Structure 1
Amino acid sequence: MKKSKSKMITIIISSIAVVLVALTVGGYFYVNSQLQAVNAASQKSVIVNIPKGSKISEIGDILEENNVINSSMIFTYYVKYKNETNLKAGKYKLSPSMTVEQVVNELKKGQVIAPSKLIIPEGYTLDQIADRMVNYQPTLKKEDILKTMDDKAFINELITKYPDTVTNDVLAANIKHPLEGYLYPATYEYSDKTDIKTMLSDMVQATDTNIQPYKAERTKQKMSVHKFLTMSSLVEKEATANVDRNKISSVFYNRLKVNMPLQTDPTVLYALGKHKSRTLYQDLKVDSPYNTYKNKGLPPGPISNSGQTSMKAALHPTQTDYLYFLANQKTGQVYFSKTLEEHNKLKEEHITNNQ
């Protein structure tokens, strides 16, 4: 009886041992398989965005959702076991052919292909914004972005959605780009699946929100949103870090009062569709409604977006008698004058003699 009982215990222990060994071996092979590539033969690449501040488990979820790794759980255990906690945020080009070790090494290097946030600076044109969008989201095509920006059906959607900001003024026959000046300079963040229209609509919404505080003053001055953004853009493009934007604004308004052409170089460059550090005399001859050397008054619409400082200056110009200003490109210093004679003297002193 004792021998029989002892034999049974031995069999049970042996069985448990076999099961444990089997589980251990099976577990090893399972974990090892999950650390291998999803598809070693794949030639496909995937753009993966790792947001700043993401936890290891969240990074694993993102990688698994993009089919870059087999298991978020195994990825998390692997990273913690290896103590690989210095994984960097950003956008990476990864592939299902990569092992977990290779993916982790890429995230440790931090050699991202695109920034984690879409930053639109003040004074940017639609063309420059499109470049930023492509840099932020490499799967986008610039031509598709520009096409959407000018799509009349999309513009009409925005007019319906933001009637206080986007008006029929943007659809005037001589407008170069309807949304120029309406995409607010700010920092945005999107997933890799966000479409172009959503991004652009968000920028218009930001403009709609940020110009609301100026509505009362605009109404008082009988200034439309379109003219407000147009004047703001001129101030933005002419301003340097060392200039009083309210004075720049005063020169433009003073010229308008005496029916004098605004003669601002950025409008010429906008008409040419070029980014140049210096405007040449032959550039001033460009035939365009945006050329303020050939046409009096404001251009048909904004020539870039504008920030809060320029918006305020557009509504609150300093009371001056200035009709001219010029900037020293080396120092950024701006000089104002009341007469052409004084202007030419300053030009000779600060521009011509310093070239």
Structure 2
Amino acid sequence: MIKKLLSCIGILLFSILLAGGFVAWQSYHFWFQSPTKDAETVLYTVEAGAGFSSIADDLAEQHIINSKNWFKFYTIINGTASDLKAGVFELKPGMSYSDIMKTLMVAPNSEEVSITFPEGYTVKQMGELVAEKFNITPEEWSVMTGVNSPLNNHNFVLTAQKPAGVDLEGYLFPDTYRFFVEATAEDIVEVMLDTMENRLVDTGAFNSDFKFQSEISNLHELLTTASILEREVRTSQDIPQVADIIYKRLKIGMPLQMDSTVNYFTGNNTPSISLADRDIESPYNTYLNTGLPPGPISNPGIDSLKAAVSPKTNDYYYFLTDAKGEVFYGVTFDQHITNKNKYLK
């Protein structure tokens, strides 16, 4: 009986030692391990106000840590979860939890860069500004904003129902931003997508169920309309009027005949296009094709977005803009020709 009892105690002690050894191995493996050999440094961004749980989840998704649960457990034991700083940090997959926390607890000496994107700029023009301020090549920008952008699965892009064959033109909100100097093309484009989504919510483009509500069928068409408005007229008084003209023409199947859409594919920036340009075959040629072009022709600002959502009802079907930016309207084609002969000499 005593031998049996001693045997059971021995087995129990062995199990305890085995479990303790496993925990110790796990602690060493997860808490004190060295960076993976030949692992590339990752620039990891902690946004201001980011919660620790979301940071742990993100570190695991990026394979910087092996277990988010062990990482959370480690920080609970050490009481360091609330000490993380915002900024851009250099991390390596396989870093020990101790080293990761030491890194994230010291605010980086990262310089912030301010960049202003004018309203109506194309993604190409935006990319040229980005290349001047950041270590981002035009090719990297083109990939991130192109037809096959990795951000095509962004919630806003999916909600907008962007067609597969068009890029992110029109989806980036033009504004003044501040980014860390180490920011990538993805960092910048993602923030601009988020901002465009938020600005559209502000315009009333969505109802309480976050369903699109407007005179056109989806957000992509709204962005396309707003981008044309941005390039056609200048003042906040005229933009809603021209928005109504666009919608009326769409409703009756009348070609939009917008010079800005022709300038988009020719690369010109002239207030009045040539007759030869009007005959160039392109899906963006709104003289030869009815309906909206396949996608936006610029990145619209807030006034154009508001006008596309809430046009100002009027009787006009025609308008023109003179060299000074003044807009003249006509109900009939004859009135339009009269205005053209009078104001576009």
Q: Is the 8 A contact 1:235 1:310 kept in 2?
A: yes
How many residues were matched structurally?
Answer: 231
Displacement after TM superposition at 1:192 (Å): 2.0
| Residue correspondence of structure 1 range 1-355 to structure 2 within 5 A | 116-137=113-134, 139-150=135-146, 152=148, 154-158=150-154, 161-162=155-156, 165-167=159-161, 169-171=162-164, 173=165, 175=166, 178-213=167-202, 214-216=205-207, 218-219=212-213, 221=215, 223-241=217-235, 243-329=237-323, 331-352=324-345
Instruction: State the AA in 2 paired with 1:187.
Output: T
Deviates most, 232-241 or 276-285: 276-285
Equivalent residues of 2:113, 2:181 under 8 A apart: no
* Distance of aligned partners of 1:162 and 1:311 in 2 relative to their CA distance in 1, 3 Å threshold: closer
Checking the alignment, whether the CA contact within 8 Å between 1:328 and 1:334 is kept in structure 2 is yes
Change (3 A) 1:315 1:266: same
* Post-superposition offset of 1:153: 5.2
Distance apart, 1:220 and its partner CA: 5.8
Q: Distance in 2 between matches of 1:342 and 1:120?
A: 37
- The answer to whether the Cα contact below 8 Å between 1:233 and 1:306 also exists between their aligned partners in 2 is yes
- CA distance in structure 1 between the aligned counterparts of 2:214 and 2:318, rounded to whole angstroms: 27
| 3-state DSSP of counterpart to 2:337 | helix
- The 8 Å contact of residues 242 and 333 in structure 1, kept in 2 or not, is answered as no
CA deviation profile, 1:234-291 (whole Å, cap 9, x unmatched)? 1111112375211111111121122110000110011223334542221112211111
For each residue in 1:1-53, what CA deviation from the matched residue of structure 2 results, as whole angstroms up to 9, or x when unmatched? xxxxxxxxxxxxxxxxxxxxxxxxxxxxxxxxxxxxxxxxxxxxxxxxxxxxx
The answer as to whether partners of 1:243 and 1:334 remain within 8 angstroms in 2 is: no
- Rounded to whole Å, the distance in 2 between the matches of 1:215 and 1:242 is 22
The residue identity in structure 1 corresponding to 2:335 is: E
- Superposed CA deviations along residues 47-95 of structure 1, whole A, max 9, x for unmatched, are xxxxxxxxxxxxxxxxxxxxxxxxxxxxxxxxxxxxxxxxxxxx9xxxx
Q: Percent identity?
A: 31
Q: Describe the shift of the 1:264–1:273 C-alpha distance in structure 2 as closer, same or farther (beyond 3 A).
A: same
Q: Which letter maps to 2:152? A: N
- Check the 8 A contact 2:120/2:227 in 1, yes or no: yes
Counterpart residue identity of residue 264, structure 2? Y
Partners of 2:272 and 2:296 lie apart in 1 by: 20
Task: Indicate how the Cα distance of structure 1 residues 225 and 157 shifts in structure 2: closer, same or farther if over 3 A, else same.
Answer: same
Cα pair distance change 1:319/1:242, threshold 3 Å: closer
Does the CA-based 8 Å contact 2:244-2:311 persist in structure 1? yes
Q: What is the distance in 2 between the residues matched to 1:151 and 1:315?
A: 26
Amino acid in structure 2 at the alignment position of 1:194: A
State the distance in 2 between where 1:254 and 1:153 align: 34
The structure that has the greater radius of gyration is: 1
Offset, 1:304: 0.8
What SS does the aligned partner of 1:188 have? strand
Whether the aligned pair in 2 keeps the contact of 1:289 and 1:299 (CA below 8 Å) is: yes
How far off is 1:194 after superposition? Answer: 0.9
Q: In structure 2, what residue type is equivalent to 1:346?
A: N
Secondary structure (helix, strand or coil) at the match of 1:162 reads helix
CA RMSD of aligned residues (A): 2.3
Range that drifts further, 261-270 or 149-158: 149-158
Range moving further from structure 2, 220-229 or 128-137: 220-229
Superposed CA offset, 1:98-156 (max 9, x none): xxxxxxxxxxxxxxxxx94110111111111111111222x322232113211625033
Structure-1 residue corresponding to 2:33: none
- Stretches of 4+ moved more than 4 A in 1? none
Give 1:182 deviation, angstroms. Answer: 0.3
What is the deviation of 1:218?
A: 3.6
CA distance in 2, matches of 1:285, 1:310: 28
Question: Given residue 154 of structure 1, which amino acid in structure 2 is its aligned partner?
Answer: P
Residue 221 (structure 1) shift:
4.2
**Compared CA separation, residues 166 and 251, structure 1 to 2 (3 A):** closer
CA contact (8 A) 1:126 1:180 kept: yes
Q: Decide whether the 8 Å contact of 1:218 with 1:315 is kept in 2.
A: no
TM-score by length of 1: 0.60
CA, structure 1 residues 274+148, in 2 after alignment: closer, same or farther (shift >3 Å)?
farther
SS of corresponding position for 1:293: coil
